[in-house]
């Protein structure tokens, strides 16, 4: 049996439906269910539905052999796992954004609000900019609007949240897409299953592109 950690939400559901088509379906799976674990009756596959930011933890610790995780979360938490494939779905970007009329005052430390403190710190260190980090857990766009930060480092997908709050992107830090990751031990001891699933999911994505 192969254990797969999927992120709750649209991305996880998309990956599940692709895998189901490739022969990894669970008869009793329903996206409306509050159940967190689904196994197929043949004992081939088991899915865990986890918070997106926790996928790497389950895979690193071996509860899941395989997981699907955004590049944003992978870079922020850096779990000790193998990255097997870029799935080319769930695309968005990690950006620095601020109020439309923001001008950087380089004489002052830059106040940066974000969920992604490691990503932000790494980026601004490489940029040589002294910063003060403000860790938030959501609705990051509020921080510059209410004046508690100068900029935010956050995910931009359609750009709607920024636009509707009179903010704009000043710098794209990196592109994001969903990645297939694997537990290091599983890659040795369940090599054939991990390989087969990787090839299947890559093919499913190509066919649905
Ligand atoms: C994410 C991100 C932005 C928004 C970007 O928030 O933090 O706020 O999506 O999407 P857009 O460019 O399509 O508008 P999420 O919905 O995950 O909620 P959060 O505020 O709790 O982080």
How far CA 51 is from CA of 8, 12, 30, 58, in Å, comes to: 6, 10, 17, 10
Q: Whose CA is nearest to atom 21 of ligand 1?
A: 138
pLDDT of residue 164: 98
CA distance 178 to 200: 16
Q: Say yes or no: CB of residue 138 within 6 Å of ligand 1.
A: yes
- Residues in a beta bridge with 114: 135, 153
Q: Say yes or no: CB of residue 159 within 6 Å of ligand 1.
A: yes
> Between helices 191-208 and 10-21, what is the axis angle to 10°?
100
Q: Which two tokens stand for residue 131?
A: 């910063």
CA distance 19 to 178: 15
2-90+177-208 and 92-175 in the same fold: yes
Give me the chain's average pLDDT, please: 95
Q: Say yes or no: CB of residue 139 within 6 Å of ligand 1.
A: yes
Sign of the alpha-carbon torsion through 122, 162, 15, 37? positive
**Burial class of residue 100 in the structure, from the number of CB atoms within 10 Å of its CB (0-12 exposed, 13-18 middle, 19+ buried):** exposed
pLDDT of residue 138: 95
pLDDT of residue 92: 97
Ligand 1 nearest atom to the CA of residue 164, by list position: 14
**Element of type H or E holding 191:** helix 191-208
Ligand 1 nearest atom to the CA of residue 160, by list position: 14
Q: Say yes or no: CB of residue 160 within 6 Å of ligand 1.
A: yes
**Ligand 1 mean position, distance from CA 157 (Å):** 8
CA distance 136 to 20: 36
Q: Tell which CATH classification among 3.65.10.10, 3.90.1010.10, 3.40.640.10, 3.40.190.10 matches the domain 92-175.
A: 3.40.190.10
pLDDT of residue 81: 98
Q: Where do the structural domains in the chain lie, given as residue ranges?
A: 2-90+177-208, 92-175
Q: Tell which CATH classification among 2.115.10.20, 3.30.465.10, 3.90.550.10, 3.40.190.10 matches the domain 2-90+177-208.
A: 3.40.190.10
CA distance 52 to 76: 12
Q: Whose CA is nearest to atom 1 of ligand 1?
A: 155
Q: What tens digit of pLDDT does each residue of 74-110 get? A: 999 999 999 999 999 999 999 999 999 999 999 999 9
Q: What tens digit of pLDDT does each residue of 29-47 get? A: 888 888 899 999 888 899 9
CA distance 103 to 93: 22
Q: Which of 52, 157, 158 to mutate to test the pocket of ligand 1 (most atoms within 8 A of CB)?
A: 157
Q: Which of 138, 153, 160, 162 to mutate to test the pocket of ligand 1 (most atoms within 8 A of CB)?
A: 138
Q: Say yes or no: CB of residue 51 within 6 Å of ligand 1.
A: no
Question: Does pTM top 0.85 for this prediction?
Answer: yes
Q: Are 90 and 67 in contact (CB under 8 A)?
A: no
Q: Which two tokens stand for residue 13?
A: 């559901």
């Amino acid at each position: 049996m192969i254990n797969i950690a999927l992120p709750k939400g649209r991305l996880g559901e998309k990956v599940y439906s692709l895998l189901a088509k490739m022969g990894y379906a669970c008869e009793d799976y329903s996206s409306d269910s509050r159940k967190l674990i689904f196994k197929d009756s043949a004992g081939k596959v088991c899915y865990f539905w986890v918070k997106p930011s926790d996928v790497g933890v389950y895979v690193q610790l071996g509860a899941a052999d395989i997981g699907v995780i955004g590049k944003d979360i992978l870079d922020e938490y850096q779990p000790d796992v193998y990255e097997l494939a870029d799935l080319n779905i769930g695309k968005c970007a990690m950006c620095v954004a601020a109020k439309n009329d923001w001008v950087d005052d380089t004489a002052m430390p830059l106040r940066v609000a974000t969920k992604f403190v490691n990503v932000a710190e790494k980026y601004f260190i490489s940029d040589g900019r002294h910063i003060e980090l403000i860790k938030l857990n959501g609705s990051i766009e509020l921080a510059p609007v209410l004046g508690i930060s100068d900029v935010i480092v956050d995910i931009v997908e359609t750009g709607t949240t920024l636009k509707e709050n009179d903010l704009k992107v000043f710098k794209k830090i990196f592109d994001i897409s969903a990645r297939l990751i694997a537990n290091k031990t599983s890659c040795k001891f369940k090599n054939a299953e991990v390989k087969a699933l990787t090839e299947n999911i890559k093919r499913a994505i190509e066919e649905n592109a």
